[in-house]
Amino acid sequence: MIIVDVTNIKNILMGDEVVLIGRQGKEEITASEIAQFGATTQYEIVTRLNPLIRRFYN
């Protein structure tokens, strides 16, 4: 399970696009960075993503 805190993000609406791993504009977050937050490995992060989550590749 993952929770994303958007409390301090202005003008966010239900249904807005969210990038969990990857790049959007000049911003990027990697599986390695997320793994550090969760004290785990990047392998654990990518293999535990629900296969029903829509993915977009560039």
| Tens-place pLDDT, residues 1-25 | 677 888 999 999 988 888 889 998 9
The ranges assigned to domains in the chain are 13-58
Contact 20, 50 (CB under 8 A): no
Task: Name the residue among 54, 33, 35 with its Cα closest to residue 44.
Answer: 35
Q: 34 falls in which pLDDT band (50, 70, 90)?
A: very high
Instruction: Please report the pLDDT score of residue 1 as a whole number.
Output: 67
Tally of CB atoms within 10 A around 24: 11
Is 90 exceeded by the pLDDT of residue 58?
A: no
Average pLDDT over residues 21-39: 93
